Structure 1
């Protein structure tokens, strides 16, 4: 996915100035399974994405990155145009990735939010694996 400073405005782009630290990567490990691609964020994060076109859905699998060595608990949520459309409930380290499917019909902006369950969890990595937007 492009960043707003390098994108051309024709597809989904991350707003760098309004987003937390994000690492786009391959081989994200969650509960012993590797996912092809996605993003890793800190335990308290918000990533804002401008869709820039008609998109019908956002899909991903969320979980605690295996690099935490069994530590960490988070709640993941997806917001669109300021409205929370999906929430994971508590996701713990070692648990299988939770599937995400959010209808984005008519939406313009998406926020991927992670909230830690303790101060310590803020420091740990959380993953949005196999993250993709379905757009026309």
Structure 2
């Protein structure tokens, strides 16, 4: 009797995306350019921290910036999505108002928040970034007290292939 052929092996599932927390990214001066990195010469002050608080809700990690800021992240690999929740940090004591935006490396706005005031709940961000080499996280002050606000990109993360 002829042996029956063995069924083909099923294809392995695609690998799960690697997720990079922005609060843990290296700076481009010290990084090896194989993973996402904060571009030192093209970024404002950034505080990578834990226990970020927006409207009395705590988040495990995130980054805090001034109300007028721009943070460039070199992706250095194929990445698919940027996600965060954004708002005015509780350290501002309810003062200030800002607007958040995510831009691609060509300066095209991919996402923009409504004006966010101190004490208001965080707003989720989810932006497709396939095909991008970098992204820029921008915060702009709004209104007369906007300049006093500290702005949070809480749970800020990048998913890459």
Whole-angstrom distance in 2 between the partners of 1:59 and 1:38: 11
Q: How does the TM-score come out when normalised to structure 2?
A: 0.82
Aligned to 2:158: 133
Once the two structures are TM-superposed, the CA of residue 119 in structure 1 deviates from its matched residue by 5.3
Structure 1: unaligned runs, 5 residues or longer: none
The structure that has the greater radius of gyration is 2
Aligned to 1:92: 117
Q: How does the TM-score come out when normalised to structure 1?
A: 0.97
Greater than 6 Å deviation, 4+ residue runs: none
Structure number having the greater strand percentage? 1
Whole-angstrom distance in 2 between the partners of 1:104 and 1:124: 28
Q: Size of the alignment, in residue pairs? A: 136
Aligned to 1:42: 66
Tell me the SS of whatever aligns to 2:146.
helix
Matched, 1:105 2:136: no
Tell me the SS of whatever aligns to 1:49.
strand
The CA RMSD over aligned residues, in Å, is 0.9
